[in-house]
């Protein structure tokens, strides 16, 4: 996924974060249980931030460099976009 893409959650898709730190993505077909970094990534999707912006924010919060954060979040978003859970306006 290109670093300049500005992803957002798809129609009918909601991120649900619980007090115990767990998170799930509610989609029409069911739910996706997210690990911590996937949840942190999806919380940043607003249709304005680029994938590069998101990777930079994650690199500040987690012990990961921007290059790896961008590659791995890009892979996650690509998987979700293929199923229309994430949109690329």
Q: Which residues bind other proteins (CB under 8 A)?
A: 24-25, 29-38, 40-41, 58, 61-64, 68-69, 72-73, 75-76
- We find the least distance from the C-beta atom of residue 28 to other proteins, in angstroms, to be 9
Q: Which is nearer to other proteins, 18 or 63 (CB)?
A: 63
Q: Which 8-state DSSP code applies to residue 86?
A: E
- Hunting for tokens 């229309």 — which residue is that? 84
**Cα separation of 59 and 67, whole Å?**
9
Q: Annotate 15-28 with DSSP letters as a single string.
A: EEE-TTS-EEEEET
- We find the least distance from the C-beta atom of residue 31 to other proteins, in angstroms, to be 5
- We find the least distance from the C-beta atom of residue 62 to other proteins, in angstroms, to be 4
């Amino acid at each position: 996924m290109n670093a300049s893409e500005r992803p957002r959650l798809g129609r009918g898709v909601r991120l649900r974060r619980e007090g115990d730190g767990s998170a799930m993505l509610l989609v029409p077909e069911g739910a996706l249980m997210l690990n911590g970094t996937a949840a942190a990534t999806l919380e940043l999707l607003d249709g304005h931030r680029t994938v590069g912006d998101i990777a930079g924010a994650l690199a500040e919060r987690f012990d990961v460099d921007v290059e790896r954060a961008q590659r791995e979040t890009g892979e996650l978003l690509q998987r979700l976009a293929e199923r229309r859970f994430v949109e690329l306006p």
